[in-house]
Structure 1
Amino acid sequence: MENSCGNSRIVGCSFSVHPMSDQFVSYIKTSLQEVDTSKVWMHTDDVTTTVRGRMEHVFDVTKAILLHIAKTEVHVAFQGTFSIGCPGDSSGDVYMDETTERMNEAETRDIQQYIAAKFSLYPMGGGNYMDTIYSQIEAMKEKGVTVSPAHYSTRLEGDTHDIFSGLEDVFRETENSGSSHTVMTVTVSANSPTHKEKKS
């Protein structure tokens, strides 16, 4: 099997969402129906959903899917792997021609949702990225995100919009620093009973 990267910078994310409810299928299907996926390529199988396209649209869609489930107040977990660069394929290049307008921003911007998250970043193609990562983590703190070290990852706590904005920034700037292939893993928990205990 031969992989071809083409000339575009397609971003992909393979993710799973897990509503902690017997009605998990309904929560997932309803969320997917509410989210505008017209600017990304998307495929769901029995393990994950994969979205591919421009960076801003991949982050817009994944955040929106999480928010539309979390707004029901069900405890939900999200786990995703974001990737850009070789090795990869080029069958989705058509989505790179889309405009930068985020199709779900207007519908989700007023959904205020606290989350806890952990992320790990893997620049695999060189580049001077450590200073970039540290500077973007400092930028997250300035947005009000609580940042703390964790084993094999960095822990984030705060509003979903602030955290996803910070994750997108650190992912983009790591690529811009010279990494030809960048991978980021993200695990999110929303509406956890632990969160309610902290707020009480």
Structure 2
Amino acid sequence: MTNQSCGTSKIAGASFSLHPMSDDFIDIITGALKEVDTAKVWMKTDDVTTTVRGKMVHIFDVTSAIFLNAAKSGKHIAFQATYSIGCPGDSQGDVYLVEDDQPANALTCEQINQHIAAKFSLYPLGNDSYMDVIYQQIEAIKEYASVTPAHYSTRLEGDASKIFKGLQTVFEEVVNAGSSHTVMTVSISANSPSHGGDQNE
């Protein structure tokens, strides 16, 4: 019988897809991957998504770095990800928990100025007062982005590095508040014609 209880491992993960709206999408994706240090995470790509797993700090570091290095191409980039911690049965790859807490790509990413639009949804599973938790974190992320309500999600707009930092912060806050299984979905768009042109600074 499969264990259905929430995991106690501190290993976090993200399953993401990167979609460059360009004929040279392969070069953009492979180029971004070459720029990113992934040594501190477990990573595997299949025909649908790429999964990264390890310490929470490194999951956000690697996913944001891959997105930013693709977006700096100036092409329209769409990114979708599901972040999770506490998933039942999640144990493979725990060796990466011995890594230090220094994000490998932070200094490089800080030099990439990229305007984005995003939507996120937060799911503090196993918490009876989940709506209060969600509203608290929507307020908290206003420190990092322009925030407006949307159906089934919350819309964010602003600098990509700040927004990823905000997403990481609210995710960590929910985990630290006692959510036994925390999930967050994120959709991001960069350099879209609907944004009114290239908004790189």
Q: For the residues of structure 2 that align with 1:106 and 1:139, how far apart are their CA atoms?
A: 24
Letter of the aligned partner of 1:28 in structure 2? I
Corresponding residue for 1:186? 186
| Residue aligning to 1:47 | 48
Q: Which consecutive unaligned segments of at least 5 residues does structure 2 have?
A: none
Tell me the residue number matched to 2:68.
67
Residue in structure 2 matched with residue 82 of structure 1 by the alignment:
83
The alignment status of 1:104 with 2:105, answered yes or no, reads yes
Partner residue in 1 for 2:176:
176
Residue 196 (structure 1) aligns with: 196
Displacement of 1:177 in angstroms is 1.4
**2:156 aligns to what SS in structure 1?**
strand
- Percent identity reads 63
Q: Separation in 2 of the partners of 1:179 and 1:63?
A: 24
Cα contact 2:124–2:133 (8 A) shared by 1 = no
Change (3 A) 1:198 1:108: closer
CA shift for structure 1 position 132: 3.9
Alignment of 1:101-180 (within 5 A): 101-126=102-127, 128-143=129-144, 145-180=145-180
Instruction: Assess if the C-alpha contact under 8 Å between 2:141 and 2:170 holds in 1.
Output: no
Separation in structure 1 between the aligned mates of residue 63 and residue 166 of structure 2, nearest angstrom: 14
May I ask how many residue pairs the two structures share in their alignment? 198
Which residue type is aligned with residue 151 of structure 2?
H
Cα drift, residue 87 of structure 1: 1.2
Kindly state the Cα deviation for residue 172 of structure 1 after the two structures are TM-superposed. Answer: 0.9
Contact 2:138 2:154 in 1 (8 A): no
Q: 1:151 to 1:103 in 2, by over 3 A?
A: same
How far is the alpha carbon of 1:91 from its aligned partner? 1.3
- Provide closer, same or farther for how the CA distance between residues 7 and 152 of structure 1 changes in structure 2, counting only shifts above 3 A: closer
Query: Cα 1:7–1:153, aligned 2, differ >3 Å: closer, same or farther?
Result: closer
Gaps of 5+ in 1: none
Q: What SS does the corresponding residue of 1:121 show, helix, strand or coil?
A: strand
Taking only aligned residues, the RMSD between alpha carbons, in angstroms, comes to 1.9
- Give the AA of the match of 1:149: P
